[in-house]
Amino acid sequence: MGAFAIQSEPIDAEVVRRAVLGPDNGAVIVFHGTVRNKTADRRVTRLEYEAYEPMAIKQMERIAAELEAEHGVSAIACTHRIGELAIGEDAMVVAVSSPHRAAGLATVADFIARLKRDVPIWKKEHFEGGAVWIGTPENPQGEGLPVS
């Protein structure tokens, strides 16, 4: 298993990548989840993340262990930012190592989907005209939510 972190500082993707390296791997996949400037029809100006850190780390570890067994990958690591993030900054970096690329690529997608669904990290989207907390399993992009 790799390393998991929640931090307010910018993410060093190389640290996340190194956490999953090993001699049996034919693939190392690194995914950067970045802050985009538009969601649905809203122009985003910045994001704000909060997390219940102890539980978030435990949940990421649990998800990683399950996916390592399910997909046969070697290791998974993830660092997620909290605090205010500007457009273009990394909100999360996920790294997966595996003997073969197909398992690694599938694991990245599954890990991110489960992180968004199961890990206590909350996102407030600030946009022109207001802000809204988004990211529920039923409405991951906050479409149609009232603006505060």
Judge whether residue 48 has pLDDT over 90.
yes
pLDDT at 132: 85
Secondary structure (3-state) at 19:
coil
pLDDT at 30: 98
Higher pLDDT, 148 or 63: 63
Cβ neighbours of residue 63 closer than 8 Å, sequence gap 6 or more: 111, 114, 115, 118, 119
Domains annotated for the chain, with CATH where assigned, are: 4-134 (3.90.1170.40)
**pLDDT, tens digit, 9 for 90 and up, residues 2-25:** 799 999 999 999 999 999 999 989
**pLDDT, tens digit, 9 for 90 and up, residues 67-112:** 999 999 999 999 999 999 999 999 999 999 999 999 999 999 999 9
Higher pLDDT, 40 or 83: 83
Report if pTM > 0.85: yes
Give the torsion through C-alpha atoms of 11, 110, 34, 78, to 10 deg. 0
Judge whether residue 140 has pLDDT over 70.
no
Percent of the chain with pLDDT over 90: 80
